[in-house]
Amino acid sequence: MSLDQPSLRALERQLQPAPEDRLAALERVWRRFADAEALLKRGGRVIEVTPTHYKVHGLSGFARLGDIVEQRGDAGARRGEIVKIGRDEAVVAPFERSADSGIGDAVFRRGPLVVAPHASWRGRTIDALTRTIDGGPPLARGDDTSRGAQTITRFAHALREVATGTGEPPVARGYPASVFTELPKLLERAGPGGEGKGSITAIISVLVDGDDHNDPVADSVRGILDGHVVLDRTIAEQGRYPPVNPLSSISRLAGKAWSVEQRALVTRLKSMISRFEDTRDIRLLGAYQGGADAELDIAVRQVPLIYEALTQAPKDRPSTDPFSDLARHLKSKLNADAGD
């Protein structure tokens, strides 16, 4: 059977779906795949691997600095952070070993890292990405928590390694400038969050290189935090624990908690301790003669008693009123000496 042209066009119109049918079909397809993870991912491929970083082609057009990416290869899924973006490639610092990356591995952008503490964090062991590593259930979000860091110095060393790998020049004892911009971002996360988002209490330690308290990391941290407690190796060698240096330790908020009398007492005690330590070498050489300096005489008598009061053993209960405890200790010792 043959059809003329008008009849053929009429048949084609009958076979073609109406516009509303095409829209309905498109909507069904969209609803079917709208939540499919594969259609939402945008990524690239590893083109170069170094001991500390790897480069990815295909991410530069939509990635942002600090974005978390997931690299998939023979070693499984590995996460990392974008630390540099060029015209044609992005540099990623992996959270695991860079040696696990291979040329051609797929890398997908996961967006910025979002952390929101929750009560379920209590007693749990997690990594820096809030993934559980104790075999327990996943974490929930949105409550108060405390944060302990082994040492902020190692964090600074890691930042230095990342920055050096991206070609950033050093500015202070080998540390690039980006280290000192990232430190406040980390430290100032501590504190109250928004309503319903909990708060973070941080206990940060700083390991100074070569016992140099003017180390760039220590100096920067002192300028960010509201106070610091200095542990002194020399005091530990004298057998006084905890080896807290009362002259170097500072709290910017203590003045708001102390009374006028307590503030005056602390100032007086620090002055005596300073005189005592400044003349230590003179006294060891036997050049000190009592009676020549009344203030020094008082310091020589009382500072050892203050040090004794500040010494604690692990089994000792914490003091709820340190000023009164110190006063009682000094009074009892001075009275005992007077009785002798």
Q: Can you tell me whether residue 1 is helix, strand or coil?
A: coil
Mean model confidence pLDDT for the chain: 80
Tell which residue, 157, 182, 184, 160, has the closest CA to residue 171.
Answer: 160
pLDDT digits (tens, 9 = 90+) for 258-280: 888 888 888 999 999 999 999 99
Give Cβ neighbours of residue 282 (< 8 Å, ≥ 6 apart).
Answer: 288
Residue 16 is classified by DSSP as: S
What's the confidence (pLDDT) of residue 38? 42
Instruction: Please tell me the pTM assigned to this model.
Output: 0.63
H/E segment holding residue 269: helix 260-278
Domains delineated in the chain: 41-113 (2.40.10.170), 152-225 (no CATH), 241-338 (no CATH)
Q: CA triplet 114, 120, 124: central angle to 5 degrees?
A: 90
Terminal Cα distance for the chain, rounded: 134
pLDDT digits (tens, 9 = 90+) for 48-83: 988 888 999 988 888 888 899 999 888 788 889 998
Cβ–Cβ < 8 Å for 52, 98: yes
What's the confidence (pLDDT) of residue 98? 65
pLDDT digits (tens, 9 = 90+) for 183-240: 998 888 887 777 777 777 778 889 887 778 888 999 999 888 888 999 999 899 988 9
Percent of the chain predicted with pLDDT > 70 = 79
Give Cβ neighbours of residue 42 (< 8 Å, ≥ 6 apart).
Answer: 59, 62, 108, 109
Which of 91-95, 158-162, 273-277 has maximum average pLDDT?
273-277
